[in-house]
């Protein structure tokens, strides 16, 4: 019981959502005396309910870090789909392999937000099942509390107050990856930050009204979620300004991701508004970087993108090498840039 209390305390202490998933999986794995466990996050697409594999225990060769394997929830009558639809524990048995287990849904007000698939070494008694369900409720309650303070109410993206913490985690991981040594140059970095600003957003509000402006922000956030990986960190920084933190890729792949996002926004037809475009400034994360410093660099690249006609992605380091940033010091008094 003491070990369980410590495990629950670890769960409540965790403030990073990815870390929370890993901690929950480990607690459930130990509590169930499981042979194996998979934590699936539930999400919806236009073609139905899908699952994203987030944690696998025991760890695979890739470790127990969050995964990104998407799959449909399954056929009618499958344990995962039944647990989702019935919102209750569903037992399963594979006669061929003599394996058995259960699927527990993570409860929420509407539909389950996650599923925990456990392969069991022995049958679970009622007390153990009750403990597992209690841990899942604690997880959901803690997640809701984090969302209340850390999630932008309109777009459901992370808000500005979470940015510094998430950036510090990313910068620390990048420093560890590089052994604490200076990068040969920033082109060797594997973490990157982009600042995106919706072009002429003030005109949207002035012409169509704030309710339509809010709808643009919500749809814009949906496009962001579709354009970037689940592991990428997305923030609404304020107003029409958004930030993306990308890790585990080189700068070429990061720029390609931002370009895909820019093109997706330009191709989308917003209700009543029509075409909306976005300008994006990008920078790589440097050794001993801070969130404010990286944001400042990306924001300078964004400013140049606005001055060059908007609807484009520009990299701070490339502009710096070409001395294009000198133009920032001499803005022209024409139309507003943002």
pLDDT of residue 281: 97
| Cα separation, 306 vs 241, whole angstroms | 13
Residues facing 40 on adjacent strands: 53, 115
| Cα separation, 99 vs 93, whole angstroms | 6
The tokens for 287 are 């050794």
Catalytic residue from among 21, 174, 240, 317: 240
pLDDT of residue 261: 97
SS3 81: helix
- Identify the band that residue 143 occupies on the pLDDT scale cut at 50, 70 and 90: confident
pLDDT of residue 175: 77
- When pLDDT is averaged across residues 22-46 and rounded to a whole number, the result is 88
| Cα separation, 188 vs 184, whole angstroms | 7
Q: Minimum mean pLDDT among 18-22, 147-151, 242-246: which range?
A: 147-151
6 vs 217, residue with greater confidence: 217
Q: Is the separation of the CB atoms in 147 and 277 below 8 Å?
A: no
SS3 296: helix
Residues facing 78 on adjacent strands: none
Q: Is the separation of the CB atoms in 216 and 201 below 8 Å?
A: yes
pLDDT of residue 321: 83
The tokens for 295 are 């944001």
Report the candidate in 28, 37, 35 with the shortest Cα–Cα distance to residue 64: 37
Q: Minimum mean pLDDT among 44-53, 64-73, 147-156, 196-205: which range?
A: 64-73
Q: Is the separation of the CB atoms in 120 and 35 below 8 Å?
A: yes
Instruction: Decide if 240 is catalytic.
Output: yes
pLDDT of residue 14: 59
- When pLDDT is averaged across residues 76-92 and rounded to a whole number, the result is 91
Pairing of strands 34-45, 90-94: unpaired
Q: Is the separation of the CB atoms in 120 and 127 below 8 Å?
A: no
The tokens for 174 are 């990048």
- Identify the band that residue 149 occupies on the pLDDT scale cut at 50, 70 and 90: low
The tokens for 232 are 């990428």
Pairing of strands 269-270, 274-275: antiparallel
Residue 263 has pLDDT above 60, yes or no: yes
Is the peptide bond prior to 58 cis by the omega test (within 30 degrees of 0)?
Answer: yes
- When pLDDT is averaged across residues 130-152 and rounded to a whole number, the result is 80
- When pLDDT is averaged across residues 48-63 and rounded to a whole number, the result is 78
| Cα separation, 142 vs 233, whole angstroms | 20
Residue 184 has pLDDT above 50, yes or no: no
- Identify the band that residue 63 occupies on the pLDDT scale cut at 50, 70 and 90: very low
Read off φ and ψ for residue 291, nearest 5 degrees.
-60, -40
pLDDT of residue 210: 92
| Cα separation, 127 vs 61, whole angstroms | 34
- When pLDDT is averaged across residues 222-244 and rounded to a whole number, the result is 91
Compute, in degrees rounded to 10, the torsion defined by CA atoms 58, 60, 62, 68: -80
Q: Which domains does the chain have, with CATH numbers?
A: 2-148 (3.30.450.40), 160-329 (3.30.70.270)
Residue 223 has pLDDT above 60, yes or no: yes
Q: At what angle do helices 210-227 and 251-267 cross, to 10 degrees?
A: 140
pLDDT of residue 245: 95
Q: Give the full edge-to-edge strand order of the sheet including 233-238.
A: 233-238, 241-247, 191-198, 278-284, 313-315
Read off φ and ψ for residue 216, nearest 5 degrees.
-60, -45
């Amino acid at each position: 019981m003491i070990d369980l209390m410590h495990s629950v305390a670890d769960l409540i202490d965790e403030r990073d959502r990815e870390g929370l998933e890993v901690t929950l999986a480990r607690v459930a794995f130990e509590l169930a005396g499981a042979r194996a466990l998979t934590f699936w996050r539930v999400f919806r697409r236009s073609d139905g309910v899908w699952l994203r594999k987030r944690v696998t225990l025991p760890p695979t060769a890739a470790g127990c870090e969050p995964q990104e394997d998407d799959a449909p929830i399954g056929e009618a009558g499958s344990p995962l789909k039944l647990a989702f639809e019935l919102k209750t524990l569903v037992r399963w048995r594979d006669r061929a392999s003599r394996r058995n287990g259960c699927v527990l849904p993570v409860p929420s007000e509407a539909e389950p937000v996650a599923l925990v698939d456990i392969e069991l070494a022995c049958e679970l008694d009622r007390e153990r099942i009750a403990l597992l369900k209690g841990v899942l409720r604690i997880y959901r309650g803690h997640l809701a509390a984090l969302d209340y303070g850390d999630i932008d109410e309109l777009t459901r993206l992370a808000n500005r107050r979470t940015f510094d913490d998430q950036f510090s985690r990313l910068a620390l991981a990048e420093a560890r990856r590089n052994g604490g040594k200076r990068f040969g140059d920033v082109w060797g970095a594997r973490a990157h930050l982009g600042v995106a600003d919706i072009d002429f957003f003030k005109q949207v509000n002035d012409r169509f009204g704030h309710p339509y402006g809010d709808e643009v922000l919500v749809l814009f956030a949906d496009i962001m979620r579709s354009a970037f990986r689940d592991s990428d960190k997305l923030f609404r920084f304020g107003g029409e300004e958004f930030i993306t933190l990308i890790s585990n890729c080189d700068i070429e792949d990061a720029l390609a991701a931002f370009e895909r996002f820019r093109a997706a926004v330009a191709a989308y037809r917003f209700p009543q508004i029509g075409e909306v475009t976005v300008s994006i400034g990008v920078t790589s994360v440097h050794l001993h970087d801070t969130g404010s410093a990286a944001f400042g660099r990306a924001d300078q690249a964004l400013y140049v993108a606005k001055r060059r006609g908007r609807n484009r992605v520009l990299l701070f380091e490339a502009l710096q090498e070409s001395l294009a940033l000198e133009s920032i010091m001499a803005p022209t008094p024409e139309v507003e840039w943002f």
